[in-house]
Structures are given as C-alpha cells and as structure tokens.
Amino acid sequence: MSLFKKIVSKLTNQPEEEDKQSLEKLGDSLKNADLDYKFAQLFTHSGGFFNYCADEAEALQTLNQIIKIEAVDNLFCWDKELQSFLNVIKSPYTSELVSSNDAAFISCEYLIAYDGRVMLSHNNILHYHSSRLPDKIIIMANVSQIVNNLNDAMGKIKRNGNIKNLTSISGSQSKLDNSNINTKLFLLLLED
C-alpha cells in the first residue's frame, strides 16, 4: 500500500486495505472452524479482548480483574441483570450515561462469527449512539448468541421483532459509525 493511501486511511478512519485483507484471509482460513472459535479468533484479530467464562463465578472474577487492571472507577450499566454483577463486586455504576463514566458494561444482541463483530441495539445501549459510549466497553454475552453471519443475525432479529437502532462494533473500532478509535472492547463470553 502506498504511503499516501495509508495516510488518507488514517485521516478518514478507514481500515487499511492490508488490515482488511488480513482479516479476510483469516476468515477464509477459518471457514470450516466451529463458530465460537472462529468468532474468538476474528474478534481478537481486530483488537478485542476475548475472555471465555465457564460459569458466572468465573465471569465475576474476570469482570473484577478487568475493572482493576483498567482502573475503571465508574461504569455505565443500565441492564438490571448486569447491575447485579456489579453489586456483587461492589463496583460503582450509573444507569444513565454521564461524562464521568470511564467504561460501559453492556449486553449485546449477537456475536457475528463471519468477521468478529458484536451487534448492538437500543436494548443494549438505550437511546445513546454507540460513539457516545466510553473508551472502554465490557460486553457480557452467551455462547448461544454467536451466529454465522449478519444475515443470520438479521433473520433472528426480524423474528424477535421490535429491535431498532442496530450498530456493530469490533475490536478497537466501530464498523458502522465513527466511534473513538481508542476504544478498548472486552468480551466476557459465558457458557449457557
């Protein structure tokens, strides 16, 4: 790739062709792999931090470690089930997004194995645009939320109905909107 193209891609926040080709190559090499393995590989390749948790106790321990290592003082978390995790580890949170939030603890709709993206909706981030989320995002998901591709996810969403404001994020940057490039994305994948 020419130096000019690299500079332009950095300025416009577009992924470099080499990165895109590298992700596509990895995806092609994993086309016959199990969905969970493929998702984990592509998610981490794109800059995300993947954590498999066999049970809720392990998820609590991993969540607590992330909060300590990343020096998180105040989380945005509006999901009542996720708030119960934060209550157990005694981590402060707000149910509305405020400027003092240095991380978000959210759920997601689906995990897309095809390219390692995480699909979010208003169910996960309320009415907030994903670009307004803090620089550190911790996502709790279940293995059953992994789907093969975007078409599978959209089919399930249509069957479930009334899901709006869809977006997806992957690794260190958003794929559908112009989020902060310095976002750290942590995934706690919990066995069902």
CATH (domain of 113): 3.40.50.10420
* Cα–Cα distance, 86 to 107 (Å, whole number): 13
In which band, very low, low, confident or very high, does the pLDDT at 12 lie, cut at 50, 70 and 90? very low
Q: Is 14 among the domain residues?
A: no
Q: Is 8 among the domain residues?
A: no
pLDDT of residue 4: 44
Tokens encoding 53: 């948790």
Q: Is 7 among the domain residues?
A: no
Q: How many domains does the chain have?
A: 1
pLDDT of residue 8: 44
Instruction: Give which of 57, 100, 50 is closest to 75, Cα–Cα.
Output: 100
Q: Is 161 among the domain residues?
A: yes
Q: Is 111 among the domain residues?
A: yes
- Give me the residue label for tokens 């934060």: 86
Q: What is the mean pLDDT of the chain?
A: 84
pLDDT in tens, 145-163: 999 999 999 999 888 876 7
Q: Is 52 among the domain residues?
A: yes
Q: Is 120 among the domain residues?
A: yes
Q: Is 4 among the domain residues?
A: no
pLDDT in tens, 34-76: 899 999 999 999 899 999 999 999 999 999 999 999 999 999 9
pLDDT of residue 183: 85
Average pLDDT of the segment spanning 91-120: 95
Three-class SS state of 154: helix
Q: At what angle do helices 35-45 and 17-29 cross, to 10 degrees?
A: 160
Average pLDDT of the segment spanning 24-33: 70
Its domain, for residue 112, covers: 20-190
* Cα–Cα distance, 173 to 171 (Å, whole number): 6
| Bridge partners (DSSP) listed for residue 117 | 112
* Cα–Cα distance, 143 to 67 (Å, whole number): 22
pLDDT of residue 174: 44
